[in-house]
Structures are given as C-alpha cells and as structure tokens.
Amino acid sequence: MLIVARLLTPEAGGYGTHEQLFLLPCLFRWLTGLPCPFCGMTTAFALIADGRVVAAFNIHILGPAAYLATWAVLVAAIVGLVRDGMLLPRWLFSEQGGRVMLVILLVGWAVNDLMVIKGTANNDGVVTVTGIGGAPANLTISAAVNEAAGAYMSLYKQTPHSNNCVFDRRTGRMWSRNTSNGEAVGVLSDGTLNWYAVATLFPLHPVAADLQMIGPPANVLRIVNAAAEIDRYHVGDLIKCGGFANPANNLPGYYVTDVQIWAALSLDVYLEPVNNVLVSEVAAGARTIGLVTRSIFNYAAGANLIGLGGYNDWRVPNVFEGASLLNHEAVDGYPDPVAFPGWGNWVTWTSTTRASQNTSAVIIDWLGPYIQAWAKTGTRLFILVRG
C-alpha cells in the first residue's frame, strides 16, 4: 500500500486519485453530489507519500493521519505476527474499535475548520474547531471563555480563498482563478453550498408591523423602536424580508453594508440591492426578516466584504458567462488548464434560475460537458466573476 501510494499521481482537483487503481468513482458523490468521508483521502495519502505535507493536509486532514497509521499498522503487524501469530490487533475488531473508526470519519469533516463568532460578550473573533461530539452543534473551540447563553450569536465559516484572478480578453470578464473545491465551507466543509433554501433561513425579527423600507438612494430597512436588536445584524450578512407589498422588497439576497441606530430608538440596516431596486414602504402589515445561510450568494458577499483580489464587485456568473469558459476542443469541457489549473471533474452553480420552475437553478457539468437544472436546495461547487 505504501509503495502503491508513492507511484500514484495525485489528482490536481483533489478527488479521483483512487480511479488510477481501476476503482469506480465514488458512488455516494455520484448519487448525491456530496463527498463521502473518504473523498480526497487517496489523493492526500499519495501527496504525503510524495513528501508534500501541506498539500496533503489541505486536501483531507485524515490523509496524513492514515499514512502514519499505515506505517504503525505495518510495524504492529510484524510484531503481532512474530509474537501472537496475528497480523492485526484484536481491539480493532471490537465494539470499541468500531466507535473509534466512526469518530475518525466524523472528525474529518469539522476539525480544524475556522469559525468567526459575532454577537457574544467575550468570544467574538476567529476560533478553530478542535473537536465535535455530544448533542447537535456541540463544538469544542480554541481559546473559549465561559459565557452564559445569549439571545443571538452568529457563526461564520472562514476559508482562505486564493487572491489569484484571471482576465478573459474574449469576454472582458475577470474571474477568480479557483473554484470553491476543497474549501472549508458548507455543512460538510467540502466547498459546496446551496443556491437558496428556505429551510436554512434563520429568523432575525418576528412577524410584526414595525418594518419600513426606504428606497434609493438610501436603500435602508428601518426597524422601528428596535435599537436593541443591533447585535443581530452584521455587515456582509444576506437577508430576506417578507410581508412587504412590493415583491422586490421580499427578494432574497440583499446584503448588509452598514448598521446604525436612528433617532436613538430605531435601527437602520443599510442594504446593497445589487441589480434590484428597493421600493419605499411605510411600516405596516405582518413583516419579517430572515438571515440567508449556506448559500453561494453568502460567499460572494463575503468575497466583496474582504475585497477578494483587491475588488469588491464579485458575483456568481450566469449560465452564459459560465459556458464561455467551456473548452469545446477538448475531450472534456474543463477551462484552459493554464488559466484555471486543477479544475477537476466538478459541477458548479450559475446564477441563472429556470423561468418555468423557480425552485431550480442552472448548473454546468464540466466533464460532460452539459448544462442542466438542479434543485436550489441541493449543494454544488461554485466560481466567482466580477462585474
């Protein structure tokens, strides 16, 4: 096994190295579009065997651990064979051994994720997930300070996306050079997010008649007599309002650019409506505010917040822009490998939604290549374009 790993060529995209051993592609990923706990481990194993430690850890944290464990098992097997006549230790086949393996699989998705905490009294800032377990959402983090439960706390995943950009002279578009593949975002920390899912919309403000919309040039969502809610809203958040008479005010995807207290009592949440125009409406009716989470548009808003590559006009490309990168002269449709290295066999979202079925958006399968509709609640990789 150690010799074979040294002979393998790690796939640049991070997945699929095991297919060099004449094994089938990952069935779980093929059926669901999501990686299984082992996806990327063969690549990471081959990278560590080649001495590329940092690259191995970036692909899958358990790859280097598995490599060291293989050496440990080899030594234990030799010792066990000489001493007890058994190649593997007995505990590995016990209930305890099974539990250890299950924990290892779960930890591979969460440990070492970077989290940004906002809305607490003592723990705001960047922390590292050091363990999981117990009840749902029970995470062990680095440098935590004891603090009682509060009303609202926001958790964000942080990932180091490359600042490298590529300018396409044919279309006049600038692209982020890398997809989200391998980044610690999404539920499984695999770089996949949904397009938009109502089920992941978190309520920030209860149904009430205290929401007022102020249109251009201000573009302000005013929450009357709610200055105490200021810790619930953060620059870069995506929100969705509900209950307004004008449909434009209820669209998801407006991101917060500033939060201020107005006249000592009310809260002004400044919004960036992108291509849509907010319409002024006085406070009335039964209106709500929800926080959009786990969406590709959250990622684009975050890229603009930090000024990815020195720019703050990043967005998800539409299907025509995405298709402009397809290489129709190759066996597959991967973009130019010099401009976009390590693209891999990925399927990525576009911002285009189906006119006949608004629950689906358009994706691009770069291996086919082909273009098809996919449920917005599903998860896929994505790319960013400027403009």
Q: Is the pTM of this model over 0.85?
A: no
- The structure tokens listed for 45 are 């194993």
328 near 362, Cβ under 8 Å? no
Taking every pair of Cα atoms in the chain, the longest distance, rounded to a whole number of angstroms, is: 83
pLDDT at 29: 62
Residue 193's H or E segment, with its range, is strand 193-194
Instruction: Determine the Cα–Cα distance for residues 226 and 265; give it in Å rounded to an integer.
Output: 6
- The structure tokens listed for 194 are 């949904």
- The structure tokens listed for 41 are 């481990």
- The structure tokens listed for 71 are 């050496």
pLDDT at 213: 95
Residue 322's H or E segment, with its range, is helix 319-323
The tens place of each residue's pLDDT in the chain, 387 residues long, gives 667 766 777 765 566 777 777 777 777 666 655 556 677 778 877 887 877 777 676 667 677 777 777 777 667 666 666 665 555 555 454 555 545 544 444 444 456 677 888 888 888 888 877 665 544 446 667 667 888 777 788 888 888 788 889 998 888 999 998 888 878 788 777 788 999 888 888 899 989 999 999 999 999 999 999 999 998 999 989 999 999 999 999 988 898 999 999 988 999 999 987 666 899 999 999 999 999 988 999 899 889 888 999 998 999 999 999 989 887 777 777 888 888 876 766 789 999 987 777 889 999 988 778 888 989 998 898 999 998
One-letter amino acid for residue 235 of the chain = V
What secondary structure letter does DSSP report for 259? Answer: E
Short-list 263, 281, 184, 198, CA closest to 225: 263
Strand, coil or helix: what is 338? coil
**What is the C-alpha end-to-end distance of the chain, expressed in Å?**
49
- The structure tokens listed for 180 are 């989200």
Per the rule left: phi > 0, alpha: psi between -120 and 50, beta: everything else, 300 is alpha
pLDDT at 64: 78
pLDDT at 34: 55
Which backbone phi and psi does 263 adopt, to 5 degrees? 55, 30
